[in-house]
């Protein structure tokens, strides 16, 4: 690796937010998966979680998500397992959903360790996710369409999180553990 490339990667790792993540529940359109992971990278997310409803989806979706070398994708077959893992890391679990009990997404404190669950393109989030999450959040809409594209919804919430974290100085100091940094450098340097 050239010194320039190493510096570029270290600068990126200095901004990573290990305590902010996204969990994609059953997403199946590869352009949506790719757009979600791309936005995650852009705001400094290091880990993404994915629940796959079938083996086939995992393979197809995994390759779209895996186009991003620098993000770790954690795979599950059950929503409950994903949410348990996120809660075990001390995360508040938010589910994006168009329910009446959902709060406006701007009302959340995203400087806390946070996981955001995204629902499937057609069917939305599962009953299980809605039950197990700590909070439902909604992005206000005033038009005729019923919902936003899932990668759009993800990005709108993530850039609100980015805004709050930038204001709180959370991008000013490296936040990744040293072990994780070394592992990422090692794995990313050997493609």
Ligand X SMILES: C[S@@+](CC[C@H](N)C(=O)[O-])C[C@H]1O[C@@H](n2cnc3c(N)ncnc32)[C@H](O)[C@@H]1O
Binding residues for ligand X, per CB under 6 A? Answer: 96, 98, 118-119, 121, 124-125, 138-139, 141, 147-148, 150, 153
Binds 80, which of ligand X, a second copy, none (CB < 5 to 8 A, cut-off by type)? Answer: none
Could you give the CA distance from residue 101 to residue 150 in angstroms, rounded to a whole number? Answer: 20
Task: Residue 115: name the closest of 30, 29, 50, 34 by CA.
Answer: 50
Closest separation between CB of residue 73 and a second copy, Å? 15
Cα(first)–Cα(last) distance of the chain, in Å?
11
Task: Residue 150: name the closest of 117, 123, 121, 125 by CA.
Answer: 121
Q: Are 30 and 56 in contact (CB under 8 A)?
A: no
Q: Are 149 and 119 in contact (CB under 8 A)?
A: no
Q: Which is nearer to a second copy, 45 or 93 (CB)?
A: 45
Binds 183, which of ligand X, a second copy, none (CB < 5 to 8 A, cut-off by type)? Answer: none
Give yes or no for residue 191 binding a second copy (CB under 8 A): no
Residue 186 CA, chain-centre distance (Å), reads 23
Closest separation between CB of residue 142 and ligand X, Å? 11
Q: Which is nearer to ligand X, 123 or 186 (CB)?
A: 123
Residues of this chain that interact with a second copy (CB under 8 A) are 8-9, 12, 15, 29, 31, 34-35, 38-44, 68-70, 106, 139-145, 148-149, 151-152, 155-156, 159, 162-163, 166, 171
């Amino acid at each position: 690796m050239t010194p320039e490339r190493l510096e570029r990667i270290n600068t990126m790792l200095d901004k990573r937010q290990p305590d902010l993540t996204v969990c994609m529940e059953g997403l199946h359109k590869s352009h949506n998966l790719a757009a979600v992971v791309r936005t995650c990278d852009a705001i400094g997310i290091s880990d993404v979680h994915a629940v796959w409803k079938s083996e086939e989806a995992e393979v197809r979706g995994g390759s779209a998500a895996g186009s991003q070398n620098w993000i770790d994708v954690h795979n599950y077959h059950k929503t409950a397992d994903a949410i348990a893992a996120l809660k075990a890391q001390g995360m508040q679990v938010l589910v994006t959903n168009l329910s009446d009990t959902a709060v406006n997404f701007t009302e959340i404190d995203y400087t806390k360790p946070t996981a955001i669950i995204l629902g499937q393109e057609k069917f939305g989030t599962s009953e299980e996710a809605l039950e197990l999450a700590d909070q439902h959040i909604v992005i206000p809409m005033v038009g005729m369409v019923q919902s936003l594209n899932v990668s759009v919804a993800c990005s709108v919430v993530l850039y609100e999180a980015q805004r709050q974290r930038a204001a709180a100085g959370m991008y000013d100091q490296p936040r990744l553990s040293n072990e994780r940094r070394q592992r990422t450098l090692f794995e990313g340097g050997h493609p």
